[in-house]
Amino acid sequence: MNATQQLPKKIQITWFVHACANLILSLIILAAIYLAGHAWHWPIWFVYIITTAIALGTISELVSIPYRYRFWQYRITEDAVEMQSGFIFRKRIAIPISRVQNVTLSAGPLLQWQKMQKVAVATASSTHTIDGLDNAKAEKLRDQIMALALGALDHEI
């Protein structure tokens, strides 16, 4: 139980689809801006800047997928939940089980399609999310955290 674990491999598929959806959305916005610029005679460099930004954004999002997967880790011990993510911007979070107020499972259409769920661990002040876990695993994790939280000293704020 104490071992460090990774997100399921297929989360990369949802990230990929998500990046593509983002690209399509920004292309639509770009087209709208282009038409608006055409109508009101905005300078053309404005459109170029936005195009480059979109291209750079999409490329970096796509390229970062394997890194994101590789560096996203979590661990549940007897008295804490720990998460670690990021390669360029690294983040390491510790939440003692006794501070956990509730655990929320949620899934958007992409995660539902891949039979995964997002796990949000909330304390009295902050909420920390695990991006996606297999349905069964997510539920097990929730039960595990809640069981440990119930067992822990009654913690009031």
Partner 1 sequence: MKSEHLHPLSIVIFIGRVIKQLYIVLGLLLWDVIAKNHVNPWIYLGIVLLIIGWGIVRYICFTFAFDENGLTINSGLFIRRHDHIPFSRIQTTQHKQWFFLQPFGIESLLIQTAGHEDKKSQTELPAVSIKISNLIDQLYQNKEKTDSDLPIANQSDQANQIPDNYATSTQDLSKYALTSFTIFPVLGVLMTLYSQLDQFLPKRFLKPFETILNHLRLNDWLIVVTGLLLLGAVSSYLLILQRYYHFVLIKKNNKLTTVRGLFQRQTLGSSLKKLQAVIIEQNILRQWFHLATIKAVVASEAGSKDHDDDNFIITPVISAKDVPNHLHHFFNWIPASFPELDHLPKVCDWYFVRNAVCLSLIPVALSIYFWHQWGSVSLLLLPISISLGIYKGRNTALALLSDNQSLLLQSGYCWTKKTTILQRKNIQSLVCRQTIWMTGRHLTHLCVNVRQGDGNQEVQIRYLSDAKALAVYHWYLQKPDSKNQ
Residue 143: its H or E element: helix 135-151
Tokens of 97: 């089980």
Rounded distance between C-alpha atoms, residue 155 and residue 152, angstroms: 8
User: Which residue lies nearer to partner 1 by CB, 9 or 90?
Assistant: 90
Please state, in angstroms and as integers, the Cα–Cα distance from residue 19 to each residue in 12, 54, 74, 109, 130, following that order: 10, 11, 23, 14, 18
User: Which residue lies nearer to partner 1 by CB, 93 or 105?
Assistant: 93
69 contacts: CB under 8 Å, gap ≥ 6: 6, 7, 9, 11, 12, 15
**Smallest separation (angstroms) from partner 1 to the CB of 108:** 24
User: Which residue lies nearer to partner 1 by CB, 40 or 154?
Assistant: 154
User: Which residues contact partner 1 (rule: CB under 8 A)?
Assistant: 79-80, 82, 87-96, 98-99, 123-126, 128, 153, 155-157
**Smallest separation (angstroms) from partner 1 to the CB of 4:** 14
**Smallest separation (angstroms) from partner 1 to the CB of 98:** 8
**Smallest separation (angstroms) from partner 1 to the CB of 104:** 15
User: Which residue lies nearer to partner 1 by CB, 32 or 53?
Assistant: 53
